[in-house]
Amino acid sequence: MRSRSVAGYRLGSVEIALVGAVALAGIAVARSHALWRDRFQVVCPAWAVLGVPCPTCGATRAVVAVMQGELSVALAWNPLAALLGVGAVISVPFVALVLGGRMTAPRVPTSLGTVSRTAIIAVFVANWLYLLRYFGG
Amino acid sequence: MDDGGEDVVPVDIERPEGLRVGVPWERPTPGMSFAGLVQTTRLLLFTPTDAFGLMRVNGTMTAPLVYLVVLGTVGTFFGLLWQSWARAMLGSVAGGNLQTLAVANSYGVMSFVIAPFVILLMAVVATAVHHLFLLLLGGAPRPPDVTMRVVCYAWGASYVWMLIPACGGLVATVWGAAMTIAGLRQAQGVPGGRAAAAVVVPYLIALCGLLALWTVMATTMLDSLP
C-alpha cells in the first residue's frame, strides 16, 4: 500500500481551550433551557413565510434534547445538530486530556480529499432533505 | 483513512512569517496602546488588504484576542445604549411605564457583562465555520489560528460602526464580512472567490438564525411596551 503525506497543523493549547469553552458554554445554555424557553419561543422565519425549513431548523431543540438525555427526540428534531450536541459533550473530557498533556492535540489538514468533501456535503444535504420531509409535511 | 485507501502520514508544516511585520497593535511600538488601537483600526477599516498583508500569521494569539474583546465590548456597549434609547423613545410615544423599561434595560446590562465572553465564543465558532468552508472549497494553506486572527481583527474593527445609532449593527455586519473576505484572501493566501464563498455561504445559511434573533429582539421590545 502506497503511503501519502497529508499536510496539517496541530491545534495549539489556546485553540483547544477555546473549543472547550465553546462546548461548555453550549452545554450550559442548553441545560438552562428551562429558564428561557417560555420567553424565546421562535418559529423559523423561512418556515413561517415560505413553508420551507432552513438547514438549521430544529437545531436548538435538538441540542437541548441532547443535554436533557433525550437522544431519540434530539435526532428527530435535527439529526446533524443532535450529533453536534453529542460531540460537544464528548469533546469536554478530550479537551481536558489534551490540556493536561495526556493526549496530543488533533491535527487539522490543509485540504480535504474529494471523498471527504463529498461526504461532508452529502451529510449536510441529507440532513436538510430530512428536515424538508419532517417539517415540510 | 482518506481518499483512495492510502496510508496517511501526517506532517507538520513550517509556519513562515515572511515579511509580515504585524499591524501596529502587534508591534512593539505603538503596541497594545490607545495609539496602536486607533492606527490598527484605521488601517483595517480603510485599507484592509494592506492591513491583512502586514498581520502576523504566527506567534501568540494575545494581541488579536485582546483587540477583539476590547473593541467588541465597547461596540456592544454603544449598541445596547442605542437599543435602550430607542426603547425609551418608543415607550414615551406609546405611553410605556418605567418598570418595563427598567426590566428591559436590566437585560441590556446583563448582556454587557457577558459580552466579552460571548464575543470570544462567537469568534471561535465563526473561525471554525470559515475554516471548514475553506477546506470544503479547496483548502486552507495556513492553520486555523490564522483564520482566527483574521476574524478577531475583522470583527474587532467592524464593531467601531456600532457607535452609529440605528444602522450601526447592519453596517458592522456587512463591513465585517467584507473585511473577513479580504483577510482570508491575504492571510490564508486563497483566491478571492474561495474566501468570499467561505464567508458568504455560512452567512446565507445563518440568515434564518439571524432573522429569528431579530424576531426575538423585536418581540421582546414590543412586549416591554404596555
Residues A56-69 have pLDDT tens digits of: 888 888 888 888 88
Question: Cβ of A121: how many Cβ atoms within 10 Å?
Answer: 11
Q: How far is B132 from chain A (nearest CA, A)?
A: 10
Long-range contacts (CB closer than 8 Å, 24 or more residues apart) made by A126-129: A127/A55, A127/A78, A127/A79, A127/A80, A128/A53, A128/A55
pLDDT for A38 beyond 90: no
d(CA B158, CA B179): 8
Average of per-residue pLDDT values in chain B? 84
Lowest model confidence (mean pLDDT) among A122-126, B55-59, B64-68, B100-104: B100-104
**CB contact (8 A) between residue A56 and residue B206:** yes
**CB contact (8 A) between residue A111 and residue B135:** yes
Q: How far is A25 from chain B (nearest CA, A)?
A: 8
Q: How far is A53 from chain B (nearest CA, A)?
A: 9
* A107-109 vs A3-10, strand pairing mode: antiparallel
Three-state secondary structure call for residue A82: helix
Sheet with strand A107-109: strands edge to edge: A107-109, A3-10, B7-12
Identity of the residue in A1, A54, A114 whose CB atom sits nearest the CB atom of B208: A54
pLDDT for B162 beyond 80: yes
Residue of chain A nearest B60, judged by CA positions:
A14
The mean pLDDT value for B109-115 works out to: 88
Lowest model confidence (mean pLDDT) among B88-92, B118-122, B129-133, B182-186: B88-92
- B14 shares contact with chain A (CB less than 8 Å): no
**CB contact (8 A) between residue A8 and residue B11:** yes
Lowest model confidence (mean pLDDT) among A94-103, B2-11, B115-124: B2-11
d(CA B56, CA B78): 30
Residue of chain A nearest B7, judged by CA positions:
A3
pLDDT for B140 beyond 70: yes
Q: How far is CA B105 from CA A33, A103, B80, B220, in A?
A: 22, 46, 9, 11
In this prediction, residue A123 has a pLDDT band, given cuts at 50, 70 and 90, of very high
In this prediction, residue A40 has a pLDDT band, given cuts at 50, 70 and 90, of low
pLDDT of residue A83: 94
Q: Rounded to the nearest 10 degrees, what angle do helices B98-136 and B144-158 cross at?
A: 140
Lowest model confidence (mean pLDDT) among A109-113, B103-107, B199-203, B214-218: B214-218
Q: What percent of chain B has pLDDT over 90?
A: 51
Residue of chain A nearest B114, judged by CA positions:
A25
Identity of the residue in B13, B61, B209 whose CB atom sits nearest the CB atom of A110: B13
**CB contact (8 A) between residue A115 and residue B3:** yes
Grid coordinates belonging to B139: 483548502
pLDDT for A6 beyond 60: no
The mean pLDDT value for B25-34 works out to: 92
pLDDT for B222 beyond 90: no
pLDDT of residue B95: 65
- A119 shares contact with chain B (CB less than 8 Å): no
Count Cβ atoms within 10 A of the Cβ of residue B178 and give its class: 0-12 exposed, 13-18 middle, 19 or more buried. Answer: middle
pLDDT for B73 beyond 90: yes
pLDDT of residue B7: 46
- B131 shares contact with chain A (CB less than 8 Å): yes
ipTM of the complex: 0.79
Q: Tell me which of A43, A111, A115 to substitute to probe the interface with B (most B C-beta atoms closer than 10 Å).
A: A111
Q: What pTM did the predictor assign?
A: 0.81
In sequence order, the β-bridge partners of residue B12 are A8
- B140 shares contact with chain A (CB less than 8 Å): yes
Q: Tell me which of B68, B188, B215 to substitute to probe the interface with A (most A C-beta atoms closer than 10 Å).
A: B215
Residues B173-196 have pLDDT tens digits of: 999 999 999 999 999 999 999 999
Q: How far is B144 from chain A (nearest CA, A)?
A: 8
Q: How many CB pairs under 8 A join A and B?
A: 114
pLDDT of residue A41: 59
The mean pLDDT value for B156-182 works out to: 92
**CB contact (8 A) between residue B12 and residue A10:** yes
**CB contact (8 A) between residue A112 and residue B139:** yes
Residue of chain B nearest A26, judged by CA positions:
B121
Q: Which residues, in sequence order, are CB contacts of B197 under 8 Å at separation 6+?
A: B133, B137
What are the domain boundaries of chain B? 17-224
Q: What percent of chain A has pLDDT over 70?
A: 83
